């Protein structure tokens, strides 16, 4: 009896061992770990960004492949990327702002950087690249700073980078051919001369350089808006007094157009879409005009939002995708502080003898709610969409 029992135990042990080895072998054969590196990366280009995040939790190799620049470039070349909306938000009375990403399925803002870190709460300028978002300058303890940080939207990590040559607040920045140009924002009149007015950063290098500019503006005014034009070498800029300039990146030259933008303080977040300038105005309005004009018209089709939300005031306008723009506004239903957004597409047509641009709402709703009622207000510093 004992011999039979011992034999049965040995048999069960051998069966378990064979089953375990079989499972290990099956797992090893079916896993991505056996694939050559180039095939492994090629497979990753075919899955969604959310799946890449999940795969990054499996192993170090999966995480390294999901975060590699090679994979990012391949996904862009294949067109297997989707827009992801990132928001830099200061919630009072928190001392520092935080980065959030709009979840593509839940349509809620999710904090992506663990904990708060010292950061300017106003006066910064932002530039997005294929992989992340640069934050430059701004006010720290009431004083301009030369600080530069980079949010890596693949790794969801904020990096401290080499500072600018000059401390700046209220500057404007654009990206042209992998080079970041920062205009104005110098407060100290002793150093805010034409030789310090523009500096440039080549993304491939760690340093900043002051850019000698031909025919600079006569006074070191703050640039309120700057928009890269269609030929990618010209920047249309407006200072805080409404003076219009054109900057040539190829010739490093500013040229005053001799025109003045009316009430520049009421027009913010300029962008160029479909050969049309767009900006957010006041009273919940989005405005448009042709680049060669100075008269702004209201984008039609947002009246429903204005009626549904008393006191509706847009606090940020940005591009979401090739077909869609996004607006944000603050709301307080039942006294609860919330951040709302709406996606809309644009169409234009002749009505009589005038062109009319109309927005069609695709989606809208609350993306962030202060359920604990601990916040007194919010300041949306940056909203930018990246294809990842």
pLDDT at 90: 92
pLDDT at 281: 96
Of all residues in the chain, the percent with pLDDT exceeding 70 is 86
Residue corresponding to tokens 């470039």:
73
Token pair of 104, please? 């593509």
For residue 36, report the phi and psi dihedrals to the nearest 5 degrees.
-60, 155
| Mean pLDDT computed over every residue of the chain | 84
pLDDT tens, position by position, 133-160: 999 999 988 899 999 999 999 989 999 9
Quote the CA–CA distance of 35 and 175 in Å, as a whole number.
38
Token pair of 20, please? 């375990």
Say whether 353 sits in a helix, a strand or coil. Answer: coil
For residue 3, pLDDT over 60 is answered with no
Angle, nearest 10°, between helix axes 60-67 and 49-56? 150
> How crowded is residue 258: how many other Cβ atoms within 10 Å of its Cβ?
7
Quote the CA–CA distance of 298 and 54 in Å, as a whole number.
43
For residue 353, pLDDT over 80 is answered with no
Confidence class for position 187, pLDDT limits 50, 70, 90: confident
pLDDT at 345: 95
For residue 215, pLDDT over 80 is answered with no
pLDDT at 161: 95
For residue 22, report the phi and psi dihedrals to the nearest 5 degrees.
-65, -45
pLDDT at 115: 57
Quote the CA–CA distance of 58 and 60 in Å, as a whole number.
7
pLDDT tens, position by position, 297-309: 999 999 888 888 8
pLDDT tens, position by position, 108-117: 999 987 655 7
pLDDT at 253: 84
Q: Which residue has the higher pLDDT, 154 or 311?
A: 154
Token pair of 182, please? 């920062």
Angle, nearest 10°, between helix axes 60-67 and 37-44? 70
For the chain, what is the largest distance between any 2 Cα atoms, rounded to a whole number of angstroms?
A: 107
Degrees to nearest 5, angle at CA 19 with 14 and 24 = 125
Confidence class for position 23, pLDDT limits 50, 70, 90: very low
Question: Could you write out the three-class secondary structure of 62-98?
Answer: HHHHHHCHHHHHHHHHHCCCCEEEEEEEEEECCCCCE
Say whether 61 sits in a helix, a strand or coil. Answer: helix
Closest CA to 102 of 374, 269, 320: 320
pLDDT at 266: 94
pLDDT at 379: 94
Q: Which of 48-62, 123-137, 232-246 has the lowest mean pLDDT?
A: 48-62
Residue corresponding to tokens 């249309």:
236
Residue corresponding to tokens 């600018």:
164
Domains and CATH numbers, the chain: 2-76 (no CATH), 84-113+271-388 (no CATH), 118-266 (2.120.10.80)
Residue 321 to residues 51, 83, 149, Cα–Cα distance (Å): 21, 6, 25
In a 13 Å sphere around the CA of 122, the CA atoms on its Cβ side amount to 7
Q: Return the exposure string of 140-159: e unless at least 16 CB atoms fall within 10 Å of the residue's CB, then b.
A: beeebbbbbbbbebbebebe
């Amino acid at each position: 009896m004992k011999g039979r029992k011992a034999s049965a135990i040995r048999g069960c042990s051998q069966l378990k061992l064979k089953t375990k080895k079989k499972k290990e072998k099956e797992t090893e054969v079916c896993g991505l770990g056996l694939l050559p590196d180039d095939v492994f990366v090629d497979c990753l280009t075919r899955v969604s960004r959310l799946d890449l995040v999940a795969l990054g939790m499996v192993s170090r190799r999966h995480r390294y492949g999901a975060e590699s620049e090679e994979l990012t470039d391949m996904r862009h070349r294949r067109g297997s990327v989707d827009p992801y909306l990132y928001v830099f938000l200061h919630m009072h009375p928190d001392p520092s702002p935080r980065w959030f990403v709009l979840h593509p399925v839940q349509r809620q803002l999710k904090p992506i950087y663990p904990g708060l870190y010292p950061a300017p709460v106003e006066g910064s300028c932002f530039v997005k690249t294929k992989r992340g978002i640069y934050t430059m300058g701004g006010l720290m303890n009431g004083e301009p700073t030369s600080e530069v940080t980079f949010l890596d939207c693949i790794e969801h990590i904020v990096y401290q980078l080499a500072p600018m040559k000059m401390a700046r607040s209220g500057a404007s920045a654009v990206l042209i051919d992998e080079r970041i140009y920062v205009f104005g924002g110098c407060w100290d009149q002793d150093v805010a001369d034409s030789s310090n007015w523009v500096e440039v950063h080549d993304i491939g290098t760690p340093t900043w350089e002051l850019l000698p500019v031909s025919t600079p503006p006569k006074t070191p005014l703050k640039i309120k808006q700057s928009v890269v034009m269609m030929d990618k070498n010209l920047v249309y800029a407006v200072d805080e007094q409404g003076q219009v300039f054109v900057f040539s990146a190829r010739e490093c030259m500013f040229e005053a157009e001799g025109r003045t933008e009316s009430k520049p303080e009421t027009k913010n977040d300029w962008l160029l879409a479909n050969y049309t300038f767009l900006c957010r105005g006041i009273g919940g309005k989005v405005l448009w005009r042709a680049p060669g004009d100075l008269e702004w018209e209201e984008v039609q089709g947002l009246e429903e939002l204005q009626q549904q939300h008393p006191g509706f005031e847009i606090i940020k306008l940005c591009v979401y995708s090739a077909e869609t723009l996004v607006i944000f506004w603050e709301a307080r239903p039942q006294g609860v502080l919330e951040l709302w957004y709406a996606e809309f597409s644009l169409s234009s047509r002749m009505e009589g003898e005038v062109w009319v641009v109309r927005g069609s709402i695709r989606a809208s709703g609350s993306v962030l709610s202060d359920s604990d009622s601990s916040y007194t207000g919010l300041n949306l510093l940056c909203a930018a969409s990246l294809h990842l």
